[in-house]
Amino acid sequence: MPASTRHHRALAVFVHCLGILAAVPALPAAAPEAAAAPRPAAVTPPPAVPRPAAGTPSPSPSPSPTVPPPAAGTPRPAAPTPTTGPTAVGPPVPVAARVTSAEPTPPSAPPAVATPTRAVVPAPPPPVTVAVAPESSPAPRYRIHVRNVGNSPVDTTVRQELPSGSSATAISAGGRSSRSGGSTAEVTWRLRLPAHSSTTLGTALTATAPGQPLTAPACAFTSDGSRPYDCATATWQAAAAAPAAKATEGPPWRRYPVLLAGLGILLLISAVVARVWRRRRGGRVTAAALADGSAEGGRGTIYPRPATPSPSRRRRTPPVWLLVGAAVVVLAGVIGTAGWTATRQVSSIDTQKQPTSGAWRGTGVAGPMGVPLRESAFEFTVYRMTCGAAGSAATAPGASAPPPGARSCQATVGVRNLTGSEQPWHGQLQRAYLPGNRWVSTDESATRAANLGRDVFANPVAAGSRVVLPLVFTVDGRDPPRQLELRSGVFSAGVRVQMP
């Protein structure tokens, strides 16, 4: 009822505010659990059946679809609130069900803490191991021990590289001598090793020179001879090697230290003689002065005579010949010492050793194939190098096509990590040098294919571990690589392996 006076209006406003304040706490609060829970799909009510007109037979009632009861733990929809008054009945409106995924809510951003790196797991041991040992004999002889450490039989191909210029004179049963592509002669065996068995192979070679050591590495490959299992190497030494001849030294008067010592002694003797001569001359002058004073009076006096000014004498200087001689001696000594030092340093330089570009850490090491060569972090050993015919370079999936006439050269390399931590290495740092001082890096796509799709440069080499793997180089021309340069890092001196 509207109020007609001012106090009635104020009372009405006050009552309405009290009603609003009383209704606010009664509002339902949105619980976080209920908000996070998925809502059930809305059930679409069945369509209304039209009521038949008068006089029309009613159709038989069709069975209503059975609605399955809600699963346990699923909140039931709230019952509709009855409303008073007429309600307009219209066609059913389909309600889209909002289906929420059952995936958990993504976690918040992790704290700013460095993710710990996982330790590199060393490669599993190969099923076939190889060991090579030389024999103590006048001619080069080797024993090759091949062992199957697996639980199943293995078919393997064993190859032994022969040194350049030598040939096999005796081979154990089953072996044959042949010549590999782009390399020297080799001896090959095809074996089938039962589980946990071993066999011993033997070879005898011709010596290239009396008393010269010979290195002959051996490797065990898969049955097709493409992937190495394990490799080993050994160097045969002559039983009675002749001692190296001693370098004879020149006569004493031609040795720079002896000459310098003689000059020093001569200068010392000259200084002593000059000092003794000056002292004796000074004593003679004093004796002559005393003799002149006693001759004047005839007898001596008790009191000394007053000092009389003595005539000024010119200070004697060393003769010119003595100064010139001393300067010549000193100059000769300096020139002789410098010449002797430079001669020793130049004679210690190895003119056959080639410098390594970018060798900032360590010293570059060079050696033949089959000899372990150590650099700053790795020990490299090249056991074998084979090259295919011209045009044999295959195109790996996703790689650019090689130039026409290119061929693939595969090197079997052993890598041992000598440090106490894992060491990465990169394919672009491994090079093969061709005639004309040209070089190519490792063909990484072909190397991955030769290692059964495994990228050998993706993971670092574990501490103290050793791996034997093939490296593929795509070269052009007919000549094989003359030298391989292998290194562990950009600033490492690396090693250079001379190809036969």
340 in a structural domain: no
Distance CA 444, CA 447 (A): 5
Specify the CATH number for the domain of residue 374: 2.60.40.1240
What range does the domain containing 448 cover? 365-498
Helices 256-297 and 320-347 cross at an angle (nearest 10°) of: 160
Distance CA 149, CA 194 (A): 9
Number of residues that this document lists for the chain: 500
Question: Please, what's the largest Cα pairwise distance for the chain?
Answer: 196
Contacts of residue 461, defined as CB under 8 A and 6 or more positions apart, other chains included, come to: 120, 378, 415, 417, 422, 423, 424, 425, 467
**Kind plus residue range of the DSSP H or E element containing 34:** helix 32-36
Asked whether the beta carbons of 417 and 463 are under 8 A apart, the reply is yes
125-145 confidence digits (pLDDT tens): 889 999 999 998 888 999 999
Residue 419: CB atoms within 10 A of its CB come to: 13
Token match 């090197």: residue? 411
Distance CA 415, CA 139 (A): 31
Residues facing residue 178 across a β-bridge = 186
Residues facing residue 130 across a β-bridge = 146
- What is the total count of domains within the chain? 2
By CB neighbour count within 10 A (0-12 exposed, 13-18 middle, 19+ buried), where does 205 fall?
buried
In terms of phi and psi (left: phi > 0; alpha: psi -120 to 50; beta: otherwise), the region of 455 is beta
**Which of 236, 256, 275 is the C-terminal boundary of a domain?**
236
Distance CA 199, CA 193 (A): 8
**Which of 236, 253, 279 is the C-terminal boundary of a domain?**
236
106 in a structural domain: no
448 in a structural domain: yes
183 in a structural domain: yes
Q: Is the dihedral of CA 5, 10, 15, 17 positive or negative?
A: positive
**Which of 200, 217, 236 is the C-terminal boundary of a domain?**
236
Residue 291: CB atoms within 10 A of its CB come to: 9
Which residue in 66, 63, 70 sits closest to 42, CA to CA?
Answer: 70
Which residue in 229, 185, 202 sits closest to 145, CA to CA?
Answer: 202
174 in a structural domain: yes
**Kind plus residue range of the DSSP H or E element containing 141:** strand 141-148
Please give the structure tokens belonging to residue 194.
């039962």
471 in a structural domain: yes
72-107 confidence digits (pLDDT tens): 444 454 444 444 444 444 444 443 334 444 444 444
Per-residue model confidence as pLDDT tens for the chain (500 residues): 444 566 677 777 777 777 777 766 555 554 444 444 445 454 444 454 445 444 444 444 444 444 444 444 444 544 444 444 444 444 444 433 344 444 444 444 444 444 445 555 566 788 999 999 999 888 899 999 999 999 999 999 999 998 888 888 999 888 898 876 555 689 999 999 999 999 999 999 988 777 788 999 999 999 888 889 999 999 998 765 444 444 455 566 666 677 777 777 887 788 878 877 877 777 666 666 556 555 445 555 555 555 556 666 666 676 777 777 778 888 887 887 777 777 766 565 554 444 444 446 767 889 999 999 999 899 999 999 988 887 767 666 656 666 777 888 999 999 999 999 999 999 999 999 998 888 999 999 999 999 988 999 998 999 999 999 999 999 987 888 999 999 988 888 899 999 88
451 in a structural domain: yes
36 in a structural domain: no
* Amino acid at residue number 80: P
Which residue in 156, 145, 157, 149 sits closest to 203, CA to CA?
Answer: 145
Specify the CATH number for the domain of residue 232: 2.60.40.290
Distance CA 423, CA 120 (A): 10
Distance CA 483, CA 498 (A): 5
Q: What is the pTM of this model?
A: 0.54
- What percentage of the chain carries pLDDT values higher than 70? 60
